[in-house]
Amino acid sequence: MVADTRSKSAVRSAGRLNEPRAALVEPQADGAPRLVNRLAVELIREEWRVVDRWWTEQPINRRYFDVVLESGQNVVVFHDDEHGRWFSQRGA
Amino acid sequence: MIACLAIPAFELRASLRKRPSLALEPAALAPREGEEPLIGPVTAAADAAGVKPGMRMGEALATCPKLVLVEPDPASAERDWEEIVRRLEDSGFAVESAALGTAYFDTRGVERLYGGLEQALRRALAAVGSHWDARVGAATRRFAALAAANVARPGQALVVSDERTKEFLAPLPLRLLGLDERRREELEALGVKRVGQLAGLPGAAVAERLGPDGRSAWGQARGGRRGRIRGRRPAAEISEVLEFPEAVGNELTLRRALATLVDRALNRPERADRFVRKVALSARLVGGASWRRTLTFRDPAAESDRLRIALGPKLNDVPAPVIALRLELVELTEETGRQLELVRPEGVELQARLKEGLRQVKASTGGGAVASVVEVAPWSRIPEARALFVPRDD
């Protein structure tokens, strides 16, 4: 039997890499993280704020910290001001 | 006999498939972005309200304030038309597609199969389906077949015999001929309003007054060339689609997505080392509209760089953010071989080893286990927006 080669269309959805994961963060008084997943923050390398897509139903309002933990791991954590929760991501 | 299958206002019908309720309302196809603001085909309700195709948008809205402008959806229209042509081909017709909504085929090869001309034409109409309101005309000449299809009612097959062709064409309006608006008005001002009147004029005089276009219209008015129908080679249909997690308007991101699609399409086993002669790039846009461009290569190509370089600039024309990008290899060559290179380019062996390694990983873990990482916005301050992973099955 000859296979029908006509209908072979491939639809694949691209996924996001480095999706944020919920993190256990203990902040200092100024809002900067002191502990991330029970590990002390050794150094805050960078801090930035992103306010974007405020015109959509999924606005972004986040305060980011690029930190080095006591284990030597480089992590990006952010406080989601929309939902009041902390998340972590792999650092650059 | 040459048969012509016509679906009037095909693009409007295709665009209305998503909003069928509008078919009974006054609606018209909106002009395309960057083109003159003239409306396209209109629905019967709009026609009854005095709106005519080709009217200026402002005038049309003033004539019928309830008029709904339907955004053109060229990608859906092409897909729907391709589906119709394929259904005709599956019924045994060798189809020559002239434009969206117009196709020619020769009935000689299938008349015996279906038991006669009428039965073959009915078969063609059945293959298209009743919801498109297709009609068929058949004659010994191409133009006469087109005119018959335009005169026929939805679902009707109208056959014009050779001896009746002149008589049939005579009372038809000049707009059926491929004349531009100015030439037609010129003829009408001279009192020539029907095809038969034009056919009755001496050919040399028409050529002198109206030039080559006029001469060709005169030829059509007398029935047109007998011509041969050149059935197309069925499209290759290797396509790859990439859906984005959110709408993308950034050109660089789209170019990177295109590069991934090109690699994936070229790696499809159905291509079987053949070269790509024609490609189509289409996109589903925010708001439900679509965009599509086709490209035919002078020299068929199978190198991803060449495809990327040729298709990349087309992405500048995308009018709105993209939800999904689709690449189709529409036509492939028959041959698979070319003169071998004396020195193999660097990295070919490594590529082959990598491919084999990935094949083994997939064999042990199943489909979807291997993905490419595509950097789409490395400058983004939102880390998860910097890169996407795209599953690969090649």
B42 touches chain A (CB under 8 A): no
Task: Say which residue the tokens 């203990």 belong to.
Answer: A26
Output the average pLDDT for chain B. Answer: 83
Poorest-confidence range of A26-30, B9-13, B172-176, B252-256?
Answer: B172-176
Q: Looking at residue B388, what is its pLDDT?
A: 84
Positions of E strands within B228-337: 238-248, 276-285, 290-301, 322-332
Q: Any CB–CB contact under 8 A between B393 and chain A?
A: yes
Coarse DSSP helix, strand, coil percentages of chain A, rounded to the nearest 5 percent: 0, 60, 40
DSSP-assigned states of every residue in B83-133: HHHHHHHHTT--EEEEETTEEEEE-HHHHHHHTSHHHHHHHHHHHH-GGGT
d(CA A64, CA A58): 18
Q: Which residue has the higher pLDDT, B382 or A40?
A: A40
- pLDDT per residue over B258-310, tens digit each? 998 998 888 888 888 888 888 889 888 887 778 888 888 878 888 888 889 88
Between A56 and B338, where is the model more confident? A56
Quote the pLDDT of residue A85.
94
Contact A18 B239 (CB under 8 A): no
- Which residues are paired to A86 by β-bridges? A79
Q: How many CA atoms lie less than 13 Å away from B232 in the CB half-sphere?
A: 19
Residue A40 has pLDDT above 90, yes or no: yes
The answer to whether B333 and B275 are in contact (CB under 8 A) is: yes
Nearest-CB residue to B381 (from A14, A19, A48):
A48
Predicted pLDDT of residue A49 = 92
Q: How far is it, in rounded angstroms, from Cα B51 to Cα B76?
A: 25
Say how far apart CA A90 and CA B315 lie, in whole Å. Answer: 32
Contact with chain A for residue B385, Cβ under 8 A: yes
Task: Retrieve residue A42's tokens.
Answer: 């050794």
Contact residues on chain A for B264, CB-CB shorter than 8 A: 10
- Domains delineated in chain B: 1-18+73-232 (3.30.70.270), 19-72 (3.40.1170.60), 238-391 (3.30.1490.100)
Q: Name the β-bridge partners of B281.
A: B293, B327
Choose the closest CB to B245 out of A16, A62, A76.
A16
Asked if residue B147 lies in contact with residue B172, where contact means CB atoms within 8 angstroms, the answer is yes
Domain positions in chain A are 21-90
The pLDDT value given to residue A6: 47
The answer to whether B358 faces chain A, any CB pair under 8 Å, is: no
Query: How close A90 comes to chain B (CA, Å)?
Result: 8
Residue pair B252/B333 in contact (Cβ under 8 Å)? The answer is no
What one-character DSSP code corresponds to residue B158?
Answer: E
Nearest CA in chain B to A46: B381
**Cβ contacts from A onto B, under 8 A:** 75
Residue B252 has what pLDDT? 84
**Higher pLDDT, residue B22 or A34:** A34
Pairing of strands B27-29, A60-69: unpaired
Question: Is residue A80 scored above 90 in pLDDT?
Answer: yes
- The values of phi and psi at residue A38, to 5°, are 70, 10
When comparing pLDDT for A64 and B38, which is higher? A64
What pLDDT is stored for residue A7 in this prediction?
45
- CB interface of A with B, residues 22-41, below 8 Å: none
The residue among B384, B388, B390, B392 with the most chain A CBs within 10 A of its CB, best to mutate, is: B384
